A and B are shown apart, each in its own frame.
Chain A
Amino acid sequence: MQNKVKVILGVIGADCHAVGNRILEHAISSAGFEVVNLGVLVKQEEFVNAAIETDAKAILVASLYGHGEIDCRGLRDRCHEAGIGDILLYVGGNLVVGKTDFTAVKEKFSAMGYERVYAPGTLPEEVIADLKNDMKERGYCV
């Protein structure tokens, strides 16, 4: 069996939304990645630990309950601290409460160190296409 590129997937913080998480796992593994799915209620530390142990190339963070900004802040710093500072970070879901302009949200999360920030309603295909591009750019075979 060829070693596939591994990505870490999980729903961050005190968030229990499990349905989208399963759909993403299915879609991303069908696209040829090995998905290490941490499920729901995942702490930042667990994302980082999992990425170290499995040598994953990206961490895909979901947040659906509106507290995304609090939960996601600092993940990039933790990655730096743990020696995997250059790992790809993606984030998506309902990142903030209410009808905030998405451009502002995107800027905020980009500033936190996330390479890709997705608006509500983004389809898995878009994420997969980005993953493939980003991996190719970094020289990983997908």
Chain B
Amino acid sequence: MKPVLLIDFGSTYTKITAVDVVSETVLGTARGITTVTTDITDGLNEALAKLFQQTGQLDFSRVLGCSSAAGGLKMVAVGLVPELTAEAAKRAALGAGAKVLGVFCHELSEYEVQDIAALQPDIILLAGGTDGGNKQVILHNAGMLAQLGLDVPIVVAGNKSVTPAVVRILSETMSEVVYAENVMPRLNELNIEPAREMIRSIFLKRIVEAKGLHKANKLVDRMVMPTPAAVLKAADLVSRGSDREPGLGDIVVVDIGGATTDIYSIAKGDPTQSSVSLHGLPEPAAKRTVEGDLGMRYSAGALVKAARAPFIARWAAVEEQTIIDYAAKVEANIEYLPQSPAEEQVEIAMARACTALGIDRHTGYLETYFTPFGAAYSQIGKDLTNVQIVIGTGGVIINNGHPEEILQGVVFDESNPQILKPRNPEYRIDKSYIMAAMGLLGEEYPDVAVRMMKKYIVGGNKSGTEK
């Protein structure tokens, strides 16, 4: 059988992976510069030429693609209460692989509508009210968004009782208004899958073309999803397995990029200790969070502000000023690669800070209540203390000689015990950088994708987890 080609049109590089699905091996990988502004096939052809140098000429039975090019899938989420439907809408957008530009809540004002227009989202997700709950706010917001002045596709996923009215209001000025089940049908009940599906279908129908990705259609059979959704799919597959291939169980995936750090967890995250009660909005078993201020290049300055220079400096065993200077240098020159062991050390410390802050924000935490009968705990978010496997991916982890030092940031911190991070995880590295490709492959060959990830994503370095 002829091999399968998997393409990730990234913001900078077009990465391709050729896979033989019979022997379940990676035949080769290559990358070219993403050329979305001119013709996206130029960069793809460049990558293909490099690939064929390694493998010889190949003929593919299937070509699948995902994309984060041209800014990725940019979304705005609108809900009612910040901690409730607005948060649920945000999670639905993140789960669909979107970059969430803004989250808006309560009744939108004219100023906020101007803000939304200025953000130029590709899709807006409009939620608000539980089923049978608040109606006024989502109706008001539909009326406000109808005056946006831009024709943006809108997914309506709020109070079912007024969905038809909301769709009607929006359809007066918008050409693409679709609806899905409420993201929060009952209080504190999360239902993001239907909205995610709608977002994905709009991405395929409209966004791919709007961003000029359809030019790749003569080479690509199916443009399947945004890249982060492909990684989430891969994480889900390798964790839970497919029908015929068991998975690895609960996992965390850390993906550090130049601009953002994405954290994925595939775990139910129920409390592991007794006398802990769950509070707040339930979390999706397959959860993705994105930190826009944690990154190795574009966000290097923001990272130093967020993690604070002294901390990074301590990990790198250098002066504070060295960190500040290095961050400024790489932010100004995003192509820069570390030139000395000392710079390498700074890179590791910065990446470790991305990991630590990213996972801190992703993971659930305990709140202690001092009651007349002693301490009681409530857990908000996921308990990941028992997660056994942490997978690292993204340039800095893959290309670094000491990825386990970077991933050290995920480990439970005794001095900050309310954050429920993995206590004793084993590290695995996506050395061949195939996770997004495996998410794509999993669409058509789930068993093969699971087995290949188990084969190629390796490391198993338990000694790295010192306490």
User: A residues bordering B, Cβ < 8 Å?
Assistant: 3, 6, 14-16, 34, 36, 38-41, 49-50, 52-56, 65-67
Are B129's CB and A53's CB within 8 A?
yes
Are B187's CB and A53's CB within 8 A?
yes
CB < 8 Å neighbour of B84 from A15, A53, A55, A66: A53
Given A14-B376, A41-B376, A49-B81: A55 touches B370 (CB 8 Å cut-off): no
Please provide the 7 A-B residue pairs with the shortest distance between their CB atoms, ordered closest to farther: A14-B369, A54-B133, A55-B134, A55-B133, A49-B81, A3-B132, A14-B371
User: B residues bordering A, Cβ < 8 Å?
Assistant: 80-81, 83-85, 129-130, 132-135, 161, 184, 186-188, 277, 279, 369-373, 376, 378
Given A16-B376, A39-B277: A52 touches B80 (CB 8 Å cut-off): yes
Q: B133 — which chain A residues lie within 8 A by C-beta?
A: 6, 53-56
Are B187's CB and A3's CB within 8 A?
no
A55 to B132, CA, bound (A): 8
Offer 26 A-B interface pairs, CB within 8 angstroms, sorted by A. Answer: A3-B132, A3-B161, A6-B133, A14-B370, A16-B371, A16-B373, A16-B376, A36-B186, A36-B187, A38-B187, A39-B277, A41-B277, A41-B369, A49-B83, A50-B84, A50-B187, A50-B188, A52-B80, A53-B81, A53-B129, A53-B187, A54-B129, A55-B129, A55-B134, A65-B371, A65-B372
Given contacts A41-B279, A52-B80, A54-B187, 20 further A-B contacts (CB under 8 A): A14-B370, A34-B132, A36-B186, A38-B187, A39-B277, A40-B277, A41-B369, A41-B378, A49-B83, A50-B84, A50-B187, A53-B80, A53-B184, A54-B129, A54-B130, A54-B134, A55-B133, A56-B133, A65-B371, A66-B372
A121 to chain B, nearest CB (A): 20
Are A15's CB and B371's CB within 8 A?
yes
Main secondary structure of the interface of A (DSSP, over half): loop
Are A53's CB and B277's CB within 8 A?
no
Q: A39 — which chain B residues lie within 8 A by C-beta?
A: 277
A55 to B138, CA, bound (A): 12
A79 to B293, CA, bound (A): 35
A14 to B367, CA, bound (A): 11
Q: A53 — which chain B residues lie within 8 A by C-beta?
A: 80-81, 84-85, 129-130, 133-134, 184, 187
A101 to chain B, nearest CB (A): 23
Q: B83 — which chain A residues lie within 8 A by C-beta?
A: 49
A3 to B134, CA, bound (A): 12
Q: B373 — which chain A residues lie within 8 A by C-beta?
A: 16
A39 to B132, CA, bound (A): 21
Q: A3 — which chain B residues lie within 8 A by C-beta?
A: 132, 161
B442 to chain A, nearest CB (A): 36
Q: A36 — which chain B residues lie within 8 A by C-beta?
A: 186-187
A34 to B135, CA, bound (A): 17
Q: B186 — which chain A residues lie within 8 A by C-beta?
A: 36
Task: Find the A residue at minimum CB distance from B378.
Answer: A41
A15 to B129, CA, bound (A): 28
Q: B370 — which chain A residues lie within 8 A by C-beta?
A: 14
Task: Find the A residue at minimum CB distance from B367.
Answer: A41
Task: Find the B residue at minimum CB distance from A40.
Answer: B277
Q: A41 — which chain B residues lie within 8 A by C-beta?
A: 277, 279, 369, 376, 378
Among A54, A56, A67, which residue has the most Cβ atoms of chain B within 10 A?
Answer: A54
Among B81, B85, B372, B373, which residue has the most Cβ atoms of chain A within 10 A?
Answer: B81
Task: Find the B residue at minimum CB distance from A15.
Answer: B371
A50 to B279, CA, bound (A): 13
Task: Find the B residue at minimum CB distance from A67.
Answer: B372
A22 to chain B, nearest CB (A): 14
Among A15, A50, A53, which residue has the most Cβ atoms of chain B within 10 A?
Answer: A53
Q: A34 — which chain B residues lie within 8 A by C-beta?
A: 132
Task: Find the A residue at minimum CB distance from B372.
Answer: A65
A82 to chain B, nearest CB (A): 9
B132 to chain A, nearest CB (A): 5
Q: A52 — which chain B residues lie within 8 A by C-beta?
A: 80-81, 134
Among B129, B133, B378, which residue has the most Cβ atoms of chain A within 10 A?
Answer: B133
A89 to B422, CA, bound (A): 42
B29 to chain A, nearest CB (A): 47
Q: A66 — which chain B residues lie within 8 A by C-beta?
A: 372
